[in-house]
Each structure stands twice: as structure tokens, then as C-alpha cells.
A and B are shown apart, each in its own frame.
Chain A
Amino acid sequence: MTHGLTDALFYEKVSSFLVWFYVVLAAMNGIAALYVWRTGQTKKWIGLPGGHGLGITNAVVWLLVAAAFAVCAALAGSGMSGNGAWMPSMPEAWKNFIDSNTGPVVYSLGTTVLLAALFVFRRFFTTPAVAWTILNLMLLFLGLSMTDRDFFEIVAKPDNVPIVMLILLLAFFTWLATYRAVINDDRMERGEPPLEKLDDEKVLVWPDLVYIELICMIALTAFLIFWAIALPAPLEEPANIAKTPNPSKAPWYFLGLQEMLVYFDPWMAGVVLPLLVVNGLMAIPYLDFNKQGNGYYTIKQRKFAYLTFQFGFLEIWITLIVLGTLLRGPNWNFFGPYEYWDAHKVEAADNINLSQIWWEKLLGSSLPMPPSGAGFLVQAGHILLREWLGFALTLGYFIVLPPVLALTVLKRYYQKMGLIRFMLMANLLLFMAALPIKMVLRWVFTLKYIIWIPEWFLNF
């Protein structure tokens, strides 16, 4: 999109965006300061020496942040002249550090640790002041990175813009839900009803609800028209079946599935797992026997359901989409956020199958391959012998593990749910866990397939 632009033209383009971006950030913080002050929520954060009770309040801090963003806006405006030297940017050293230290492993483990920390310390992170600081830092990171051409190229690609919006919206709504859940959990521990119970009185739908709907419709229409004018929808060159783009990507909402292709064959990543996701979602109300937590935000009262869902949604579905969209470049190689998408980047791919590890590495013999033109039974016999370890592990995982779970750690669930519902839940969970397990096996043992049957297109 910025191909063919000189540096000067690029800085002009990004500068005209960043000025408004920082102005909005400054306004946001100014409004926050005003809100804190007017609603009497001012708190002294830093005491000044002198003992007059004077100090820097939160309102002053947000006002200072607003001023800092206003300065950023002015500096970003300097890029209009075509010279980016004064524009606030991420230091080169940091960019290189981030690029050279990120990869699928760091990304996956990093998001896992981050989400786990956000969950464990949710009481701290949902404090409005902390959450507001994090939001400011996220947006600042975006602003500072936009002056990098490679970063801009990926993030500002029209069809990727929804991803950036998705990340910000999810961050906001996850904060909102967790904030309310923490308050509710505290209240219910004290024997008080949840927040949702407080507004129990009934109001008439006209005017209270229909006006909300009307205002939402007008605001949304205005937003869509603004978006449509500000950012033209993508239209690339006319379709050409002979010219394969590199990388070729599915629409962004399917990129989590495309990312799974790194670890599974298409029949798993593209058919079986998506079908299980849909069916698993539909099964949720029939598997969750917990009667608590119906109609209000809570985490403590339904920890198992909450963690399972968040693991599947935020930790797998969303992080894989972000990875697949923003960080996977030509040949589906991993590229850091500031890295040039070099189509010639070569990554070693010396993955190995479990049967190879067993027969070649451990026993030092060759794989028992079926002779060509053999009948079905001879072929099946060879395959069974060749892949016995993979079959044993897979069957053990899906068939032996659920009863073991039922008798040990998940005994309470088994007793409440009964055989069929429990087995269904256990298998859905095991399928969901199969992805991270396969990822770890790939990273640690460069394992390609647990079961490798190319004769039948059956690799697992």
C-alpha cells in the first residue's frame, strides 16, 4: 500500500493520521481529568514537601498526560513537511530487540503468561486508574510504531484495520466485564446481592429503551459513514488465477484456523476442529450444570466455565487470529512487527514424525513401509506396525484419559453430569487441548505428526 511512496510522502501520509490520533488521545485524557474532578473522585497520588497538604492529584496527572499527548500531536505534525526526524517514534534499538526476540514460541508463551497474569491479578489490573494507564500505553505503542514503514504496512492494510479495532474493543469489554465481576464477587462474599440486582425497578420501554436504540442507531450510522469516507475499502488488482500472492490468506476471522495448519493437516485444522468448535459452543448450556452466575458478571462462582471459555476464546481463537493476520508473512513465516516481509526468508523445516523417532532414531532401523500394490490388509498391517506408538498415544489420550479424569481430578463433575455428558465434555476439552499440546511438541521435539499415514491422507 505504501509501495512506491518515497519516505517523504510516507511521512506526510502517516503524519496526517497521527496528528488526529494524538489529538484524540489528548482529548481523552483531558476528559478523564475533567470527569475525575467533577465527580469528586480526585485523589492525592504524590504528596508535595512542605506539609501544606498539597499534592499532585489524579486529575492533574491525567491533565499532564493530555498535555504530553498534545505535544506528541504537534511533533507528529512536523512529519507533514516530509521529514520524520521529529515525529515521536519507537527507538530503533527497541524495535530491533522486539524483532529479534519474537517468534511463534515467545508470542504464544508471552500471551499465555500475560493473560494468566491479568487473570490472577485482576483486582489490581481492573482498578480504573491502572486500566486507563494500560489503555494509554497500548495506544501510545500503536502511535509510536506507526512511523515504522513495515509496521504501518501491516496494521494500516485496510482489511487488517478491523483486527486493531477488535483488539481494542476486546481489551475494553474484557476490562468492563472483569471489573464488574470483581465487584460482584466481593459483594456476594459479604452476602450482598450483585450489582445487577440493585436496579430491580421496572421502567417503560417507551421512552427509556427506544431512545437508547435510536441514539445507538444514529451514532452507529454516523460512525459507519465516517469510516467509509476516511478509509476506502480494499480493491486490489483484478483476479488472476495464474498469479498466487505470497502469503495467500483467508479472511481475517478464519486466520486462527489457517494458523492451525502449521500444526495440523487441513482435515483437522479446516474441517474437524472448526466443526468441533461450533458443536462445542452449542453444547455449552447442556454441559454447564452450575446454576450460579445466571444474569450477572461473576468469576468466582463459575471459575471452571470461565477459564475454559477464556482459554478457548482469548487465548486460542483471538491470539491465533492476531498472529495469523499481523505476524505471518510470505511462506507463512513469522515476522516481527517491525520486520520487512522478505519473501526469501528461509526457515529450517526439519520436522520429524513420531514413527521416524521410534524406528529410525531409537531402533536404528528403517520404517516398515507397505510394499507398493499391496492389498488393503497387508497395507493396514504395515501401517499399524509402523505407527503403533502414535495409535497407542492417541487412543490413550481420547479413550483412556476421560475415565481416568472421571475417577480422579474431575470426579465431582462426573458424578454431577453422568456418563454421556461427562464423556462429551471431556472429549471436547481434550480436542481443545490437542492444539497447545501439538504446539509444544513441535517446539520441543520438532514433532510433525503423531500418526503419519500419507497412504490414506490421514496425518494427525
Chain B
Amino acid sequence: MPGLGETIRESQIWKSIFRHPMPVDRRNRIVVMLTNFFLHLHPVSIKKQGIALSYTWCMGGVTFFLFLVETVTGVLLMFYYRPTVQWAYTDIQMLRDVHSLGILREIHRWGAHAMVITVWLHMYRVFLTGSYKPPREFNWVVGVLLLLLTLLLSFTGYLLPWDQLAVWAITVGSNMARAHPFLGHEGPGQQLLTLGGVDMITSASDARFALLGAREVGEETLNRFYILHCIAIPLGVALLLAIHFWRVRKDGGISGPL
């Protein structure tokens, strides 16, 4: 009589899902990397120094994992949160006081802070090991764009709880856009952009207005930041992540001395 585990592993259903036998011998440890969707990002084998923590710090992987944590907790939070001035704050408060899953918001917020830090540390390691040098120049550029998107993700998420911290941090941050050269209504060069004597760049048409959707941080801003935070920027990150990982492989895997 075969055991239960063996019966399951021999069943047609199991075999249809996992196209490889258990990775217990050398052959199947290679096969598993090639046939499993989640594992196929990896190479089959790797130089020993390429997985040494004292070399890699594991920060890129940690950042990716934090992105996944943020995605999962973020989707769950969206069930309980309404991005309106009337409800935003109350929903967060209720989440903390009522729902037993209130810890979701804590994890989401601290995870966001941690992600900013780990992105920096990842880039710090990549710089200090000279890993941006040929042939990996372009992947460093993709990485800088990912850094930018990470900061924007964190910045747009900052507004959503709609408390004093949120509104004033975004106000201070977005005031910069007012001074954008040419595109901000208090920026240098804006008075050159006139059409038939009428200013094109005013407080209702400048870069800050485009960011906030209004003259001041308000209902429109909340909606705009919510969409940026939950849909637009994550899609951009997902695309760039795919390119980033693909290029790691195509550029010869993790860097090391030649």
C-alpha cells in the first residue's frame, strides 16, 4: 500500500500542476528550476559568492518581498477604505479600533517605510560593488526609475489616512511644484508662457494643479493620489520590475569579479 503522500503525488491532479518530481536528486533540482513558473526567474546554478549574504546583503530580494507584502496588504485595505474626505479618516480609525485585522494597516505603513530604506541599501550595495558597470548599465537606470516610483508610491500613500500628518506633508511636498520653472505659477519663466496677453500658467493650470487636481489639497487630490497609489504607479513598478529581473539574468546574473 502506498502512503497518502505518495498517492497524492502520483495522482493526475498533482502531476498536472507540478510538472516535475520532488527535487530530491540533482537531476530534479535542475528540472524544478526550469519547469516551475515561480522559480524560473532564477538560474539553475549560481556561483557560491553570488549568494553570500556578506556580498549581496539580500536587499534587492527583501525590497521585492516588501513590494509583495505591500500589494497583498494594500488590496485587503482597499476593502475597508473609501477615498473620500467624509470617510477616509473614519475608515482608518475603524480599521484600527474595530477590525481584528487592524494590524494590516500597521504592516502596510511600516512595510512602506522599510521598503524605502531597503531600496537605498540595495542601491548602496550595487554602487559599492561597482555592479552598475558594463554590461549592467541599463539595469542600473531601470533601478533608479524603480527608486523614483518607490518614493512616489510612499508619497501618494502618505495622504490616504487623511490626518494632519498626511495633509500637511503632501501640502509641503506639493508646494514645490508651484515653483517649477516654466510650469509652476510661482516658478521662474512662467511669465514667458502667455497667449495673446493671457497667462497660460496660473494657480489653476500649473504643475501643482495637475498633481493635486485642485488649488489646495482636497477631495480631488485624495481621489487622484488614491488612483496613483493603488493602480497607476504599481502597474509601472510591475513592468519595470519584470524588466529589472529579466535584465539581471540577461546581463549575466549577479555581478562578481571576472
A binds B: yes
With contact pairs A204-B44, A205-B43, A295-B256 given, residues A232 and B96 touching in the complex (Cβ less than 8 Å) = yes
| Contact among B43, B54, B176 with A266 in the assembled complex (CB-CB below 8 Å) | B176
Instruction: Name the residue on A nearest B161 (C-beta).
Output: A235
B81 within 8 A of A: no
* B124–A203 touching, CB < 8 Å: no
Task: Name the distance in Å between B72's Cβ and chain A's nearest Cβ.
Answer: 11
* B167–A271 touching, CB < 8 Å: no
Which A residues are CB-close (under 8 A) to B48? 199-203
A176 within 8 A of B: yes
| Contact among A176, A253, A294 with B131 in the assembled complex (CB-CB below 8 Å) | A294
* A235–B51 touching, CB < 8 Å: no
* A173–B256 touching, CB < 8 Å: no
* B42–A210 touching, CB < 8 Å: yes
* B136–A267 touching, CB < 8 Å: no
The interface bits of chain B over 55-86 (1 if a CB of A lies within 8 angstroms of the residue's CB, else 0) are: 10110011001100100000000000000010
* B165–A159 touching, CB < 8 Å: yes
Which A residues are CB-close (under 8 A) to B131? 294-295
* B129–A297 touching, CB < 8 Å: yes
- Assembled-state Cα–Cα distance A297/B257 (Å): 10
With contact pairs A236-B165, A285-B133 given, residues A267 and B180 touching in the complex (Cβ less than 8 Å) = yes
A374 within 8 A of B: no
A143 within 8 A of B: no
* B62–A220 touching, CB < 8 Å: yes
B191 within 8 A of A: yes
* B65–A165 touching, CB < 8 Å: no
A457 within 8 A of B: yes
With contact pairs A251-B154, A271-B187, A456-B188 given, residues A294 and B106 touching in the complex (Cβ less than 8 Å) = no
Count of A interface residues, CB-CB < 8 Å: 94
* A284–B140 touching, CB < 8 Å: yes
B105 within 8 A of A: yes
- Assembled-state Cα–Cα distance A390/B30 (Å): 67
| Contact among B55, B85, B106, B164 with A196 in the assembled complex (CB-CB below 8 Å) | B55
Binds A, one of B6-14, B107-115, B231-239, B240-248: B107-115
The interface bits of chain A over 190-221 (1 if a CB of B lies within 8 angstroms of the residue's CB, else 0) are: 00011111111111111111101100110011
With contact pairs A267-B184, A295-B130, A456-B191 given, residues A165 and B33 touching in the complex (Cβ less than 8 Å) = no
* A297–B106 touching, CB < 8 Å: no
* A295–B129 touching, CB < 8 Å: yes
Which A residues are CB-close (under 8 A) to B165? 159, 234, 236
* B116–A253 touching, CB < 8 Å: yes
- Assembled-state Cα–Cα distance A259/B56 (Å): 32
With contact pairs A196-B49, A225-B103, A236-B163 given, residues A270 and B33 touching in the complex (Cβ less than 8 Å) = no
With contact pairs A233-B106, A295-B256, A302-B130 given, residues A173 and B121 touching in the complex (Cβ less than 8 Å) = yes
Which A residues are CB-close (under 8 A) to B128? 177, 181, 297, 306
Which A residues are CB-close (under 8 A) to B53? 212
Which A residues are CB-close (under 8 A) to B224? none
| Contact among B49, B57, B177, B186 with A173 in the assembled complex (CB-CB below 8 Å) | B57
Which B residues are CB-close (under 8 A) to A101? none
* B162–A238 touching, CB < 8 Å: yes
Which A residues are CB-close (under 8 A) to B138? 285
| Contact among A237, A251, A290 with B158 in the assembled complex (CB-CB below 8 Å) | A251
The A interface, classified by DSSP as helix, strand, loop or mixed, is helix
| Contact among A238, A240, A249, A294 with B172 in the assembled complex (CB-CB below 8 Å) | A249
- Assembled-state Cα–Cα distance A266/B179 (Å): 6
Task: Name the distance in Å between B18's Cβ and chain A's nearest Cβ.
Answer: 13
* B130–A294 touching, CB < 8 Å: yes
Count of B interface residues, CB-CB < 8 Å: 101
- Assembled-state Cα–Cα distance A169/B121 (Å): 8
* B176–A270 touching, CB < 8 Å: yes
With contact pairs A201-B47, A235-B92 given, residues A251 and B173 touching in the complex (Cβ less than 8 Å) = yes
* A232–B133 touching, CB < 8 Å: no
Which B residues are CB-close (under 8 A) to A278? 144, 148
With contact pairs A194-B257, A203-B46, A233-B110 given, residues A254 and B155 touching in the complex (Cβ less than 8 Å) = yes
Task: Name the distance in Å between A172's Cβ and chain B's nearest Cβ.
Answer: 10
* A225–B181 touching, CB < 8 Å: no
* A253–B107 touching, CB < 8 Å: no
* A296–B172 touching, CB < 8 Å: no
Task: Name the distance in Å between A167's Cβ and chain B's nearest Cβ.
Answer: 10
* B181–A271 touching, CB < 8 Å: yes
Which residues of A in the span 215-255 have a Cβ within 8 Å of any Cβ on B? 216-217, 220-221, 224-225, 227-229, 231-241, 243-245, 248-251, 253-254
With contact pairs A199-B52, A266-B175, A285-B140 given, residues A162 and B162 touching in the complex (Cβ less than 8 Å) = no
Which residues of A in the span 288-308 have a Cβ within 8 Å of any Cβ on B? 288, 290-298, 302, 305-306
- Assembled-state Cα–Cα distance A290/B217 (Å): 47
- B-side residues, CB < 8 A to A, are 23, 26, 29-30, 32-33, 39, 42-49, 51-55, 57-58, 61-62, 65-66, 69, 85, 89, 92-93, 96, 103, 105-107, 109-111, 113-114, 116-117, 120-121, 124-125, 127-134, 136-138, 140-141, 144-145, 147-148, 151, 154-155, 158, 161-169, 171-173, 175-181, 184, 186-191, 216-218, 255-258
What are 15 A-B pairs at a CB distance below 8 A? A162-B116, A166-B117, A180-B54, A194-B257, A212-B51, A245-B168, A249-B168, A258-B172, A266-B179, A281-B144, A288-B132, A288-B133, A294-B134, A294-B255, A456-B189
20 A-B pairs besides A203-B46, A248-B168, A251-B154 with CB distance below 8 A are A159-B113, A177-B124, A197-B257, A199-B48, A205-B33, A205-B45, A207-B23, A216-B62, A227-B107, A228-B103, A235-B93, A240-B164, A241-B167, A244-B168, A253-B154, A266-B186, A270-B177, A291-B133, A305-B130, A313-B124
- A-side residues, CB < 8 A to B, are 159, 162, 165-166, 169-170, 173, 176-177, 180-181, 193-210, 212-213, 216-217, 220-221, 224-225, 227-229, 231-241, 243-245, 248-251, 253-254, 257-258, 265-267, 269-272, 278, 281-282, 284-286, 288, 290-298, 302, 305-306, 309, 313, 453, 456-458
